[in-house]
Amino acid sequence: MKAVLPALARPLLEPHLPAGLDVSWFASPEQAREMIADADIAWVDMQPPSETAAAIAAGRRLKWVSTIYAGIDAFDLPWLKTMGTTLTNGVGINAVAVAEYAVMGMLVAAKRFDQVVRQADRQEWTIAPPGVVELEDTSALIVGYGTIGRLIGERLAAFGVSVTGVTRSGRDGTLTPDQWRARIGDFDWVVLAAPATRDTHALIGADEIAAMKSTAWLINMARGDMVDQDALIAALTARRIAGAFLDTVTPEPLPAGHPLWTTPNAIQSMHLSGRSQTRMFWRGAELFLANLSAFLAGNPLQNQVDLDAGY
């Protein structure tokens, strides 16, 4: 059985791999595409995601594909289903880092620390704080109350924020997908933490933005295409809502000259949330090894993706 694995993870993986596994270590997209043609197992995460997609498309006998990323929009799910390929993702690997980043974004927005930094860069001392909002006694709607969403909610609760989650099932007092829009005007923070699926495109559009409080912030930790960016730019320019903290946008990378760079009260964090940690590869290697043992033994895998649901 052949596995194609990242050379960067070799020191973490090689000492623990079972004897008899034929392993190819790739160090470039070209190597990944070449090696994967006859592979049974592949972990080929690369940036940009299109490189990952191209490598996977070159596989002709893949039985299991592993990724350290929670989002799987780089993968052709119908094709993997046709091939009979199992896909496992990295839900949980980046969850703490993303949750911390979301809370940081909300604190930055509440205190407008982005403006404080710019004033300091200009060496302008001020006694007038640009942001005076306290998180305590505010309310947050978290669309997507899975692993990351719950971690965000737990951390916000410690700041005295009232948290309402959105799940498909409406479990544990959360709202369902057909309930949250009617309530969006009740919240000071609208946080996107849902997986990207065919149902989440432009989840926040002109109507949803118009229904938000004028003092509310949109926090996008999910995917850029979940927001109608033209509608968001128009709303921010007209000061219809207070602002947006955007860890993800469309396209990525955001090109120079794109209106979002200069839209009033749009704070960019360039999809750095999940990468802002030191243990991503370590956690990814640990998960891969656990799943490899299960795969070879014919047992269920952790984080197996439902190829029909898309997460």
> H or E segment at 178?
none
Q: Is 208 an active-site residue?
A: no
pLDDT score for 71:
87
pLDDT score for 197:
87
For residue range 280-305, list pLDDT tens digits in order. 889 999 999 999 999 999 999 999 99
Hey, which CATH number is domain 95-275, 3.40.50.720, 3.90.420.10, 3.40.50.150, 3.90.550.10?
3.40.50.720
> H or E segment at 3?
strand 2-6
pTM value is: 0.90
Ordered by start, the domain boundaries in the chain are 2-93+277-297, 95-275
Helices 95-111 + 147-158 axis angle, to 10 = 40
Q: Is 223 an active-site residue?
A: yes
Least confident of 69-73, 150-154, 189-193: 69-73
Mean pLDDT of 25-43: 97
pLDDT score for 75:
92
Tell whether the model's pLDDT for residue 250 goes beyond 90.
yes
- Topology adopted by domain 2-93+277-297: Rossmann fold (3.40.50)
Pick the catalytic residue from 10, 252, 258, 286: 252
The whole-angstrom separation of Cα 89 and Cα 284 is 10
268 phi and psi, to 5 degrees? -100, 140
pLDDT score for 1:
95
| CA distances for 117 relative to 113, 124, 154, angstroms | 6, 10, 28
CA angle 58, 59, 60 (to 5 degrees): 115
- Cβ atoms of residues 185 and 212 within 8 Å: yes
pLDDT score for 269:
97
pLDDT score for 48:
86
| CA distances for 170 relative to 195, 199, 208, 248, 269, angstroms | 16, 17, 20, 26, 31
In 38-192, where do the E strands start and end? 41-43, 64-66, 86-88, 139-143, 162-166, 189-192
pLDDT score for 94:
93
Tell whether the model's pLDDT for residue 49 goes beyond 90.
no
pLDDT score for 73:
85
Pick the catalytic residue from 33, 150, 223, 283: 223
pLDDT score for 36:
97
Q: Is 258 an active-site residue?
A: no
Pick the catalytic residue from 33, 112, 155, 271: 271
Which band of pLDDT confidence, cut at 50, 70 and 90, is reported for residue 47?
confident
For residue range 223-233, list pLDDT tens digits in order. 999 999 999 99
